[in-house]
Amino acid sequence: MASKQSANTESRGHTAPVPPEPHENPTVGIAPSREENIGQKRLADFDLEGRVFIVTGGARGLGLSLAEALVETGGKVYCLDREERPDEDWNEAARRAERCGGSLHYCQQDVQDTEGLDKTIEAIADKHQQLDGVIAAAGVQQICPAMKYTHEDITRIMDINYTGVMMTASAAARQMFKYKCHGSMCFIASMSGQVANKGLISPVYNSSKAAVIQLARNLAMEWSPIRKDGTGGIRVNCISPGHILTPMVLKNFEEVPGLREKWEAANMMGRLAETTEFKGAALFLLSNASSFMTGSNLIIDGGHTSW
């Protein structure tokens, strides 16, 4: 198989691309400087004033909470979602954003529409002449026994949960390379990418999240080094939440009686998470506070996967 692939590459007259060597392209210049008097400004490493971010799946739930974390520290945040208009909570978040020095904007954009997604992200970057980071939080779930999944079911879930993340990251990276922005990306994976969910049959969702974790590692390898022309320097990490009280999970509880109690008993804290409990992690990963972190998966699950 390897020799055939090599022959095909040669026949097209192309040289196979290779990732940049980190030791030849070190990611320097993004760590906080010793000359910066951090003590004069509280939590300066987390300051996002003047930076521009995109959050997919930002109309409600976890995506909206993570967007708020960036806004509250001065970021200009664009929430992308397929809904015609965002949840009522989004309007309140936008009002609070004005008091925090940041700004919150909404764009109707389905991550499955890759051409439209690319144009939307390009327009945002061109407007500000920069793009500093992305949180890819758009995702769907389907409870279904493995033998009853159709090809269409699988394609739809993977198209949103995996391909949507890949296309969001690629579109954003093109703009970050264009404007030579050394920023950060955070993919919302799940502890379900590492373990099966007790009491819930969702093999395709779980598989898609495992794929997202692996995708982050590979994009981190490719984009973290800074090239000679100043491009690159994009850190890529994941957050893998445990069970959260989101609209999607509340729907699961309606479909599977007793599931909430089962999940609450499955972690070390005896409860499920609120969306607000992931804001600090998102801020950490999108700010200078995590300047030496890339290709990692931050598990926040109340101890679920620790026993």
Matching residue, tokens 């008993």: 265
Active site residue 179: no
CB 31 within 8 A of CB 291: yes
Given the residues 205, 251, 262, 279, the one annotated as active site: 205
C-alpha dist (Å) from residue 196 to 43, 159, 184, 210, 305: 38, 21, 29, 11, 10
Given the residues 76, 78, 209, 279, the one annotated as active site: 209
Quick one: tokens of 123? Answer: 């327009």
Active site residue 205: yes
CB 215 within 8 A of CB 225: no
Stretch (H or E) spanning 270: none
CB 137 within 8 A of CB 57: yes
* Spatial distance between the Cα atoms of 178 and 54, rounded to a whole number of angstroms: 16
How much is the CA Rg of the chain, to the nearest whole Å? Answer: 20
> Around 193, how many Cα atoms within 13 Å sit in the side-chain half-sphere?
23
Angle at 99 between CA 30 and CA 55, to 5 degrees: 50
Among all residues, which ones are annotated catalytic?
205, 209
